[in-house]
Chains A and B, each alone.
Chain A
Amino acid sequence: MVKKLFKHEFDAYIRTIIPMHLVLLGVAIMGRFVQLFENESDAYKIVFGSSIAAYVITAIVCLVLTTFFCIKRFYSNLFSSEGYLSFTLPVTSSQHIMVKSIVAVLAQIASLVMIFLCTCVLTLGDVCVELFKAGGYLTNVFFDVYGIHATFFTIEFIVTLVLSLAASTMIFYACIAIGQRAKKNRVACAIGVYFIYYFIYQVIGTMCIVLVTVFYDAWNIKALMQYLSNNPIVSNHLYFGFMFVLSAVLYTIGFIITKRTMDKKLNLE
C-alpha cells in the first residue's frame, strides 16, 4: 500500500512541477537564443540583461513554488476534505507523513537539478564546456588539498543537505498540524505558528552568540576558536556534524508534533 501511496504522490507532483520545469527550460532556451545575436549595441545589452534576469527570477519562482506545492499538497491531502479519503486507506499516520516528506524532498532536489540543467542550456556551447572544466579543476584542487577528507566532506554535505530539506519540510508540516487545531482561519493560524517558531529559533541563536561573547575567555572559547581556525578539517567535520544533529532534532520534533496531531487531534473540514 505504501508503494501505491508513493505512486500517487509522484503523479500529483509530476502534474504540477513538470509544467513549471518546462517554463524554466523555455526561458533558458530563449536566453541562449538571444546570445546568438551578440554585439556591442546597447539594445543587445538590455535584451541580454533582461533574459538573464528573467531566467534568475524564473528559477527562484520554480524553487519557491515547489516548496509551496509540497506544503499545499500535505495540507489538502490530509487536512481538507480529501483527508476523509486519505485516512480510510490502510496506512498509518507515520507512513503518510514519511511518504509525503520523502516525495517533497525528492521534488525539491528535482527542481535544483532542473535549474542546474537549464543553466547548462543557458550557457550551451563553449561557455558551458569551460564552466565544466573550471568545476572539474576546482574539484581536483579540493581533493588535492583535503585528500581522503574531501570524500567525507562530500558525503556529509549531501546527507546534511537532504536532511536539512527534510527538516524544513517537516517543520512546515508541524506548523500546519498545529494550525489545523484552530476552529477558524486554520491556514492563517499555521502561518502564525511558523512565524513564532522562526522567532524562537532566532532568539535561541542570538542568545547562544551572546553567551559565547560574554564567556569568551572564561569558558576557553578563545582557545577552542584558535584550535578550529588552525585545523580546518576538524572544524568542517564538526560543522557538518552539528548541522546534521540540528536537522535531525528539528525533523524529529516536527514529526512527533505532526503525528500526535494526526492521531489525537485530527479535525477535518
Chain B
Amino acid sequence: MKKLKRFTAITIVMIMMCMLLCSCDTLDYAKESHANWTNDKSTDSITLSSGDTYLKLDGKNKDKIVYNTYSFQNIYVTDKDVPVLLSEQYGSMLVISGDKNFIYGTIMNDEIVFADKHTPTNPINYYFFNANYETEEVYEDDKNPIYSDVVYCKEELFDDISKQINEDLTYTHYGYSYYDKKTNSFEFYNLSDTQAKLIDTILKDVTPKTDLNFPTSELYICNLDSLTEDNFFGETKCEVFASDDGKEYYLAKYKEPYSSYECYKVPKEHLEEIKNITKASAESQNIQFYDYSNY
C-alpha cells in the first residue's frame, strides 16, 4: 500500500512538472511574432525574440530592395516591458520577409510611437482625438510625417546593404524568388544570359496590348526582376501570367496612371522555354492548369 501511494505521488508530481514545462503552439507563435525596440525611445533597431538584431536602412534605393514575399510573417514590435500576449494591441505591426533577411512596413514617427506607453491600435483616431496631435499642420507636415515606410535588415548584412542602398545599382541578371519545397527554403531562380535575351526579345518584338481588365482568369506565375549580383536589389522587369489551361503565357508590365497591364503574349515557339523558366515558381505555388479537352 505504501509503495502504491509513493508511486501515485511520484506520478502526479511528474505530470505536474510536465504541465509546468509544456507550452502551447499559439503562445509559441505569438513569441515568434513578438519583437522589441532594441534601444529605448528609438526605432533604429529591432531585436526579435530569437535574439537576431535588425538595423534600419535608409537611402535612395530603399524602394528597390527585393523581399521574399511568398511566406512572410507579421511581427509586432513593442517596448521591452510589454508582454507577449499584448504585443498586437500595443505594438507596431511590421512584416518579416520569408528568408528572414528584411523587416519592412509602415510605422508612426518616434515621437508618437513612444509618446504614450499605451500606443493605440488605431493611430488615425489617436491623431484626431488626442489633444497633442490634432492640428492639420502637423498632419500635413512633410518634414515631420506621422507615418514613414521603414526597412530593417539583419545585422550581418547591414554593412553590405547600407553601402549599396546609396550607390547607383548595377543589375547583372534577371531572376525571381520562390519557395523550394525540397530544401524547405527560399531560393532565387537566376535566368541565364540566353533566357534573359529571350525575355528581352519577346518584350521588343511582340506588339503589346493594353487591357484594363487584365488579369481576369489568368493565373499569376511570378515577377521577373532585374537584379543585382547578390539579389538584394532589383526592379520589376515584368510579371508572368498564364491562362487557366496553361496554353498561353503573357509577360505583363504594370502601367500607371490607368492601373492597367500592357500584355505581351508569348509566341508559341517560345512557350515551352518560358514554361521551363517559370516552372519553379509555378510548382512552389501548386498551380494547377485546367484541362478543357474533355469538355
A-side residues, CB < 8 A to B, are 32-33, 35-36, 38, 124-127, 130-131, 133-134, 136-138, 141, 144-145
CB of B130, distance to nearest CB on chain A (Å): 13
Which of these, A127, A134, A138, A145, contacts B23 with CB under 8 Å?
A: A127
Chain B residues with Cβ under 8 A from A32's Cβ? 19
A137–B21 touching, CB < 8 Å: no
By a CB distance below 8 angstroms, the chain A residues around B197 are none
Is B25 among interface residues, defined by CB-CB distance under 8 A?
yes
**Residues B15 and A144 in contact, CB atoms below 8 Å apart:** no
B residues in contact (CB < 8 Å) with A? 15-16, 18-25, 27, 81-86, 117-118
Interface centre among A36, A124, A125, A127 (most CB of B within 10 A): A125
Find the B residue at minimum CB distance from A144: B117
A124, A125, A141: the one contacting B117 at CB < 8 Å is A141
Closest Cβ of chain A to B229, distance in Å, is 40
Q: A36-B19, A141-B118, A145-B118 are in contact. Are A130 and B83 (CB under 8 A)?
A: yes
Majority-rule SS of A interface residues: helix
CB pair A134–B27 under 8 Å, yes or no, is: no
Q: Are A134 and B25 in contact (CB under 8 A)?
A: no
Chain B residues whose CB sits within 8 angstroms of the CB of A138 once the complex forms: 86
How many angstroms from the CA of A105 to the CA of B23 in the assembled complex?
36
A248 to chain B, nearest CB (A): 35
Of the candidates B19, B21, B117, the one having the most CB atoms from chain A within 10 angstroms of its own CB is B19
B20: A residues at CB distance < 8 A:
124-125
User: Which residues of chain B are within 8 angstroms of A141 by Cβ–Cβ distance?
Assistant: 117-118
Contact check, A38 vs B24: say whether CB atoms are below 8 A apart.
yes
A36 touches B85 (CB 8 A): no
Are B18 and A36 in touch, CB under 8 angstroms? Answer: yes
Q: Cβ of B83 and Cβ of A133 under 8 Å apart?
A: yes
On chain A, the residues within 8 Å of B85 by CB distance are 130-131, 133-134
B19 A126 Cβ-Cβ under 8 A:
no
- Could you tell me the distance between the alpha carbons of A145 and B86 in the complex, rounded to whole angstroms? 17
In the complex, what distance in Å separates the CA atom of A38 from the CA atom of B29? 14
Contact B22 A36 (CB under 8 A): yes
